[in-house]
Amino acid sequence: MIAIIDCNSFYCSCERLFRPSLDDKPVVVLSNNDGCIVSRTDEAKALGVAMAGPYFLAKPTIEKYGVATFSSNYNLYGDLSWRVMETLRILLGEKNIEVYSVDEAFLDLSEFKHTNLYEEGLRIKNVVETWTGIKVSIGIAPTKVLSKVANRLCKKNKEATKGVMVLDTPAKISEALQATPVSDVWGIGRQYALKLKEMNAVYTAYDLSKKSAAWAHKNLGGVVGTRMISELNGIPAIEVAKEQLTQKKRIACTRMFGKTVSTITEVKQAVATYASRAAEKLRRQGSAATVVSVFVLTREPSNNGRFRHGNTYSHYTVLPIATSATNELIKHAMALVDVLYDASKQYKKAGVILSGFVPDATIQANLFVAPQQNNQRKLMSTMDNINFALRNDVVQFAATGTKRNWKMRVEMRSPRYTTRWNELFEVK
């Protein structure tokens, strides 16, 4: 059996941890740039605050009811996420946990064959909540997709389930599938939901489970679809990952600008900053990149009242020799901006994506690089160490600029209680 453990309204729960007075009050957390609502509590939901909706639309409701509102504080959430996952590792053993996202993990429960899984779920939930202060819900079933179904239902009915639901018989599974709209199945997104609706006859997860594998292969993205049918029928087709994927295949740093910008200087400063950030992540995982790509997103005039994204323009460079050096990567990224930039346009967003990774060690062993490149490596690691120790990006490349008009807004961020000494929680 497989469990999915999921933190309830995770970002909001993190904020509540340091503001217990908000425990039964509505709370929302905003995305970067204070653009969208990315987390909301049940109380905020009850007031009609839309999930993933733009902040400015929800603002009247939020102000009317005095909903506590926070900008994203990723340092805080990352640290609390680590505490939750560490608790699970202690309880179940590292090899039985797959950390799926910042607030979710799959657990392989095959070692608990002979115990009462509902009781076991309650126990895990209890320990996590006691040790970390973060409330969680647990769904347990024979497959990942079904555990997600269980998790969703137990969240919808916290009182009766006490936050744990086990689907361990065909009858329970069938009942749960009938109570789940097909659009809420893990793996069915907007496009597929629309397609299934147009095709008629598939409204619930149960309806979908009765479709053939061949049908799903044809209509739901090939093997992805056949796996889905198998999983819904209780036959595992998506393994719990045995080893954590620590090496990313692609590293991106992209941001909306705080306001639209139009000069090439501003675009370049932003892109240089993102390249620096991406390069740091790259070095942290011990990789070097052979592909640098840059994209920019423009602001388009008048959208007729309907939201529309601007157009994106992207371009990439394949490097002759892989590198992890910030200055190298910035240099290539700057050349790409020169290609992409159009003075007649206004820009809302830009991003840098690194890919084509090789282990950084191979660079060291390369006899054909000039000796300066090895000095560069020392410079990079010194920079990373200083920035890590002081936690404030004190050492930077000049190309990233000093004024930074384009920097995103974080107007309502709470203190980084657990990761900055000078923002520690204070007790009188």
Partner DNA sequence: TCTGGGGTCCTAGGACCC
Binding site for DNA (CB under 7 A): 31-33, 35-36, 38, 52-54, 56, 100-104, 148, 185-193, 221-224, 245, 248-256, 260, 277, 281, 299, 307, 318, 348-349, 351, 408
C-beta separation of 273 from 401 below 8 A: yes
- Cα 355 from Cα 317, distance rounded (Å): 11
Residue 100 parent element (H or E): strand 97-101
Q: Cα–chain-centroid distance for residue 382?
A: 29
User: Whose Cβ is closer to DNA: residue 284's or residue 420's?
Assistant: 284
Q: Cα–chain-centroid distance for residue 185?
A: 19
DSSP 8-state secondary structure symbol assigned to residue 387: H
- Paired with 71 in beta bridges are 30, 413
User: Whose Cβ is closer to DNA: residue 102's or residue 122's?
Assistant: 102
* Tokens standing for residue 376: 């560069």
Burial bucket for residue 222 (CB in 10 Å: 0-12, 13-18, 19+): exposed
Q: Measured from the CB of residue 360, what is the shortest distance to DNA in angstroms?
A: 16
C-beta separation of 315 from 294 below 8 A: yes
DSSP string, 293-324: EEEEEEPPS--TTS-----EEEEEEEEEEEE-
Q: Measured from the CB of residue 77, what is the shortest distance to DNA in angstroms?
A: 11
User: Whose Cβ is closer to DNA: residue 112's or residue 266's?
Assistant: 266
User: Whose Cβ is closer to DNA: residue 112's or residue 146's?
Assistant: 146
User: Whose Cβ is closer to DNA: residue 185's or residue 288's?
Assistant: 185
User: Whose Cβ is closer to DNA: residue 193's or residue 213's?
Assistant: 193
Burial bucket for residue 239 (CB in 10 Å: 0-12, 13-18, 19+): exposed
Parallel, antiparallel or unpaired: strands 347-359 and 250-261: antiparallel
Q: Measured from the CB of residue 349, what is the shortest distance to DNA in angstroms?
A: 5
User: Whose Cβ is closer to DNA: residue 170's or residue 218's?
Assistant: 218
C-beta separation of 145 from 186 below 8 A: yes
User: Whose Cβ is closer to DNA: residue 90's or residue 318's?
Assistant: 318
What amino acid occupies position 147? S
Q: Measured from the CB of residue 271, what is the shortest distance to DNA in angstroms?
A: 12
Distances 195 to 191, 199, 202 between C-alpha atoms, Å? 6, 6, 10
User: Whose Cβ is closer to DNA: residue 133's or residue 356's?
Assistant: 356
Q: Measured from the CB of residue 46, what is the shortest distance to DNA in angstroms?
A: 21
Q: Measured from the CB of residue 52, what is the shortest distance to DNA in angstroms?
A: 5
Q: Measured from the CB of residue 305, what is the shortest distance to DNA in angstroms?
A: 8
Phi-psi region of 127 (alpha: psi -120 to 50; beta: other; left: phi over 0): alpha
Q: Measured from the CB of residue 418, what is the shortest distance to DNA in angstroms?
A: 20
Q: Measured from the CB of residue 185, what is the shortest distance to DNA in angstroms?
A: 7
Residue 139 parent element (H or E): strand 136-141
Q: Measured from the CB of residue 367, what is the shortest distance to DNA in angstroms?
A: 23
User: Whose Cβ is closer to DNA: residue 54's or residue 234's?
Assistant: 54
Burial 43-63 (b: 16+ CB within 10 A, else e): bbeebebeeeeebeebeebbe
